[in-house]
Structure 1
Amino acid sequence: MKQFIFLLILSLSVACETKEKPSFTLQGQIENPEHEYLLLLEESNIEKKETTFIDTLFLDEMGRFKAEFHIEPHFYRLIVNEKLSIPLVIDHGQNVQVRINSTDTKIEGSKDTDLLLNYEKFRASSLERLVKTIRRKITEENQKPNPNAKLIDSLGKLEIHNYDLHLEELNAFINSNMRNSLALYPSSIRWKGENNLAFYDSLVLELENANQNYKIIERLREKVTRLQQTSIGGTAPDIKMNTTEGNEKSLYALHDQYTLIEFWASWCGPCRRESPVLNELYLTYKDQGFNIYAVSLDDRERNWLHAIQKDQRTYTNVSSLEGFKTPAAYNYAVTALPMNFLIDKEGKIIAKDIHGEELISLVKELF
């Protein structure tokens, strides 16, 4: 009997010692919290804006919390209150500590979160320097009694050009600082460009070789695959969406020699400024087999219809009024506007992301 008890105690001891270690730990303290709890969400799909509830973290009387998780590394968001949420990229084995007071938020224990925060800081600086300064000049000119149309057009082209430079700076930052980090996932929402496909593929391949088959890495591989499928030479996926009259219209039902698939929105300044170019191209070449299939990423019907009428967009206009949650935007890996794809009658993509004079010259050459 004594031997049985001894073996039972020994087996329980071994079981305790071999208990699975948590994937990561999350702890911290909130000064003067508004609620008695925090919410932890998984950013399941950043392009579709899908989140998954993970857990409720209750605070003690001192505002402290601690929780162990046996889940995959991923991109998470800690919801503190209606105004404050904290992005966290947590890898296996990390002990993440969060301290929040009235003036500051400190996060320690996650190098991947540090990388993401540094990336976001750099991104904000780059966007301000290259893009927002131009946008303010356009706004200032538009507010004058007699706006200079040529100046606005010139600034609009510069805005599009500078946004591409901004994305190049982000890629350079990623290459220098973020390789083999799960923080690549939140950065991937701005992955774009024919010339960057090999670079993005190499980033994902490094993660795949160094880690288990995490969902977050699968998302990155899916993103690269969609970019590859919608690159020049690829076949454009069909789109079926409702027109302004509420009737479903398929992209493949157009059967034109060439069709420009245009992703736009009423709130997108560069998109709206390109309306005259699109109208001219359509009116000039529609009888020769040129069409435009305009996919709006608006989420308010009134704004969408008003913009169509004001800009005199007489070609095919469709929208699901879901914003960037629009399935076509996901299938075409569209995360920024304006964006377009020029396809031939077989649906082959022959050009993409071309605007202004470059677009005019290409269509003229085709006809």
Structure 2
Amino acid sequence: MIKNKYIFIFITILFLFNCTTKKSSKVILQLENHHHDTVYLKELTEEPYGYIDSVIINKKGSGRWKLMPSYPAFYSVYVKNDKKQTFTLFIRPGDYIHVKAAGKNFDSLVIEGSPESEEINKLLKRRNETAKEFFAWIDSLHALSDTVAEASKKAHRYDSLISACFQRHREYSIDFLERNRYSPVAIVALQQYIGDRPVFDLRNDFDYFNRIDSILMSRDSTVETVQFLHKQVDYFRAVRKIPDVGNKAPGLSLPDTTGKIISLESLKGKYVLLHFWASFNSASRAYHPWLKRAWWKYHWKGFDLYAVSLDRSRQAWVNAIRQDGLMGYHVSDLKMWNSIAVNQYHFTELPVNYLINPDGVIVYKSIPAEKLDEVLNKIFTQTSRP
């Protein structure tokens, strides 16, 4: 009984401690030309029921919110029935933010008490101005009605102006990232679009995404947008490991049916079809007649097969090779989906293949059976030309 009493006291103290340590945040509004308008403060979240509050601006143009955020977050401030009249705040627990704006569209926006919110709105204002200029040039391009020759000259000029406009904003955004690399507001810059064109592309600008993710996960991991960025970067990091056309083929060294280790690299100098299959997989077996024909037709021209089986049974593997009349090099570590080959090439279904050129570079991926002869014929027709 005494023990239960102490537990109850401990829980009560813990509860009171949590309540007293939670910091309130305040947002004070001074908005000209918005008298009697209802203005909303809405948390930008993927959750269906994020924080939302509203205030009616009084005749002096004033309004305020008091909130108790558990973590830093982005919020949209907008006027009822007109979400075009909007700006963004990044609110941390304990912030005291004063917002002043004139005009119906929150012109001359001034934010005090939140440098991060100031930075966001400078960026978004710059982005909107760039988009306006960007689309004005595009409209001019579409409106050309000159002769073909004149239109071609002007189109080239407009295209250069459009590219320069986009590049200026990208350079501004790179500088923004550098200034704000320790704040979640950097993510706003990473996720920008001008029309349907991303300012930063995850594939081509991965280093920017990776750097910001590394910094923010060590400083602001409770912020939802930071968690979203981390998932995005993690996913792309995994995707980048999947070999693709234009990449060097990852090395493999596996035992053949006699136990002799055969390396993929030992076939360098030939066109090699790296083919993953299993005797128990019907789609794999259906591919084999095409493989057999391709080997006999093109082997003498410099083509070979390096077939990796995901079997567990050596006997089943060997029997399938014999039954299907397959030639080439056949290897397996007999570990099924735990094979090192799966770890190297990150595939999830069978069959799958990669055509590797004499320099060890992947030139085709996942060639359908009925297209195999066409692909090889094209390659060896080109290579046989003087």
TM normalised by structure 2 equals 0.47
Q: Which has the higher contact order (CA 8 A, sep 6+)?
A: 1
Q: Could you say which structure has the larger radius of gyration?
A: 2
TM normalised by structure 1 equals 0.49
